[in-house]
Structure 1
């Protein structure tokens, strides 16, 4: 029996290294929502002092299930989607699901992702 391919957990800052078409899961903070294109601009200023990377997440396919509070600036979201494009100002992702991260402990999340990544190497 086969099913959908699993997503790969990555940091938002690693999206630009992912292959086009790759299914990913990541965390980001809403910086902007563009209603006309149903696109969320997400940031996550980790791992360093450089300007944070940007994910431009199209939520057109999941718009009916997204709560209005989840698109508020400052909301932290979990996203599963497909890397669609590399842009001069970020990476484009087509969301297949989006849900609130709630009051996520960012330090713990970042450490957990780093540990998981190290275990795969």
Structure 2
């Protein structure tokens, strides 16, 4: 029986340990076909270094992915496993964020995810989605 995934917000990824199976929603900001990686963020456009970021390896799901899933601006549901990011990828994402924004706020370190499933989220009301996820994550009240 497959292991269930843990529903999380992209901003929660830094606190999740490597090897954990997760499900999250994010927006495509870039696709690197040579590496088979998507850079996903939790808003579009994302203009600050504080924007939560995930680097998602999609090589295992590419044969089932249409080009619309890889387009900048597409909102995706992702299921996969948290992995440790490669230093070169972390550096490139952090540097690109710093180049676009001269603020001195420390950028968030992106997390890497190995995708096992990927599908379109369609139109998203991000505030309602985040509220629903937080409500789902609350432990049931005893009483």
Matches within 5 A, 1:76-87: 76-86=75-85
Q: For 2:16 and 2:140, how far apart are their aligned partners in 1?
A: 15
| Distance in 2, Cα, partners of 1:65 & 1:30 | 17
Q: Which residue of 2 aligns with 1:24?
A: 22
Gaps of 5+ in 2: 91-108
Which residue number corresponds to residue 93 of structure 1? 113
Distance, in Å, in 2 between the alignment partners of 1:58 and 1:120 is 34
What is residue 111 of structure 1 aligned with on the other side?
Answer: 131
Rate the CA distance shift 1:21–1:120 in 2: closer, same or farther, 3 A: farther
Measured against aligned partners, the alpha-carbon deviations of 1:54-102 in whole angstroms (never above 9, x if no partner) come to: 1000000000111101111010000000001146440010000000000
Of the candidates 3, 6, 9, which is equivalent to residue 7 of structure 2? 9
Deviation per CA, 1:8-45, whole angstroms, max 9, x where unpaired? 00001111111110000000000000010010000004
Which structure's CA Rg is the greater one?
2
Distance 2:123 2:57 in 1: 23
State the secondary structure of the residue aligned to 2:61: helix
Rate the CA distance shift 1:5–1:38 in 2: closer, same or farther, 3 A. same
Deviation of the 1:119 alpha carbon: 3.0
Unaligned 5+ residue runs, structure 1? none
Q: Does 1:61 align with 2:81?
A: no
Higher strand share: 1
Give aligned pairs, total: 116
